[in-house]
A and B are shown apart, each in its own frame.
Chain A
Amino acid sequence: MSTPEAHDMDETFLSAYLDDELDVPTRAAVQARIDGSPAWEAELVEVRAARDAVRALPLVDARPGFWDHVLDGNDHDKKGGNVVDLGVARQRRAWVSRWRALAGAAAAAVVLGVVLVPRPAPVDPALGTLTQVHAERASLGNDVVSNLAGAVVPAGLDR
Chain B
Amino acid sequence: MTEHTRRPGVALAASVLTMLGAVVLATSAGAGTPDEAEELLTKARKIATHESFAGVVEVQWIDDAGLVQAERVGARGVDGAFVIGVGGRNTVGNDDERVTTSDDHPDTRSKQARGGRAPRPGESWDLEVVGRHHIAERSATVVTASDGAGRVRARFSIDRETGQLLRRVVLDEHGRTVRVVRFVTIIAGELDVPIPAMPAGPDNQAPVAIDSLPSGFVSRSDLGPYRLLGEYLQPDGAVQLYYSDGLFTASVFQKSGRVDWDGLPSGARAPIDGLRARSYATAAGTIVVWGDRDLVFTAVGDGPPDAVLAIVTEMSGNASEDRSWVDDVTDFVLGPFDWE
Contacts and interface: CB of A to CB of B under 8 A. Distances in A.
Interface of A: 110, 113-114, 119-159
B98 A140 contact: yes
15 contacts: A110-B333, A119-B334, A121-B256, A130-B287, A134-B240, A134-B284, A136-B93, A136-B98, A137-B240, A139-B91, A142-B249, A144-B82, A149-B75, A150-B179, A150-B282
Given A122-B263, A144-B48, A145-B84, A157 B280 contact: yes
- The residue among A120, A130, A150 with the most chain B CB atoms within 10 A of its own CB is A150
A133 B59 contact: no
B298 A137 contact: no
A155 B168 contact: no
A151 B244 CA distance: 17
Contact of A139 (B85, B93, B265): B93
Contact of B240 (A133, A140, A151): A133
- The number of chain B residues touching the other chain, given as a range, is 35 or more
B105 A137 contact: no
Contact of A136 (B100, B258, B263): B100
Interface in B113-131: 118
Contacts, number: 192
A48 to B, nearest CB: 65
B89 interface: yes
Given A149-B75, A152-B73, A140 B91 contact: no
Given A133-B253, A148-B91, 11 more contacts: A124-B264, A125-B255, A125-B264, A125-B296, A134-B300, A135-B302, A136-B109, A147-B302, A148-B93, A153-B71, A153-B73
B260 interface: yes
Contacts of A134: 240, 242, 249-251, 284, 300-301
Contacts of B302: 135, 138, 146-147, 150
